[in-house]
Amino acid sequence: MTNNIKVENIPKTFFEKVKYGLSYFYDNFIKYPAYILTHPIKGFDYFKRENEGKMNVAVTFLIAMILLQILKFQYTGFVVSQNDPNDLNTIREVSLVVFPVILFTAANWSITTLFDGKGKMRDIFMMICYSLYPMLWTESIGLIFSNFITAEEVGFYLLLIGIGNFLTGYLIFFGLLSIHEYGVLKCIGSIVGTALAILVILFVMLLAFDLFQQIYSFLYTIYREISLRYL
């Protein structure tokens, strides 16, 4: 648990402000997420009950993951990546990070409200963003490592990335367990329900997109007819 500094005690001189800023950064961006990683149940309990989780930290982790996704596309070593840097699509890379987070948040909230989950949508979103913490480290190290490895060492790179993915999933599981105040079996059931809710949401989105295309095509055809006849 972090040692928060009261607002009224914030120092006024330049060097004291710098010291306070560094202390705040260390406590909230490094120490507390690391505490959650090593003590997930207690960490997420503090996260919810004592408001240790902060939205600005969660959003920062999400933005950092977006930037890392873009850097990975551009600078991952050719041994493990065949991406052409000229094909970078920033909107696509942002969507690959933001869309799954929002989709999982909405799906999990919609399911857990039906099964007496205690977590709010804000709690779920923040929990997922905090759970990206180990991936930020492993993906960053992997990005650097990928530019120095040979084909025979790719396995170590994949192991590192796999560890980061596993730890993020591990944190999400215990995060759901804590913020919804579920037992293990009920938490697993909620995850299965969340996966089904995600499929339903994606199906509805595809239907809506297809309907939009048909409406657009119909209106465009009418416009073309009117243009050819009267314009």
Could you tell me the end-to-end alpha-carbon distance of the chain, in angstroms, rounded to an integer?
71
* CA distances (Å), origin 119, targets 42, 124, 135: 16, 7, 23
pLDDT of residue 23: 86
pLDDT for 5:
47
Residues 104/34, Cβ–Cβ less than 8 Å: no
Mean residue pLDDT of the chain comes to: 87
Percent of all residues in the chain with a pLDDT value above 90, rounded to a whole number: 46
Q: Which residue, 107, 112, 110, 105, is CA-closest to 127?
A: 105
Structural domain boundaries in the chain: 55-230
- Give CA–CA dist 224/86, Å, rounded: 36
Residue 108 neighbours by CB under 8 Å, 6+ apart: 124, 176, 190, 194, 197
- Determine the Cα angle at 25 with ends 21 and 28, to 5°: 130
The pLDDT tens digits for 131-152 are 999 999 999 999 999 888 888 8
Query: For the segment 62-79, what is each residue's pLDDT rounded down to a tens digit?
Result: 999 999 999 998 888 888
Q: Taking the CA atoms of the chain, what radius of gyration do you get in angstroms?
A: 23
Task: Please report, for residues 78, 135, 227, the alpha-carbon distance to residue 166 in angstroms, rounded to integers and kept in the order given.
Answer: 25, 9, 58
- Band (pLDDT 50/70/90 cuts) for residue 1 is low
pLDDT higher than 70, residue 31: yes
**54-58 LR contacts (CB < 8 Å, sep 24+):** 54/28, 54/126, 55/122, 55/126, 57/28, 57/29, 57/33, 57/129, 57/130, 58/125, 58/126, 58/129, 58/130
CA angle 167, 56, 112 (to 5 degrees): 60
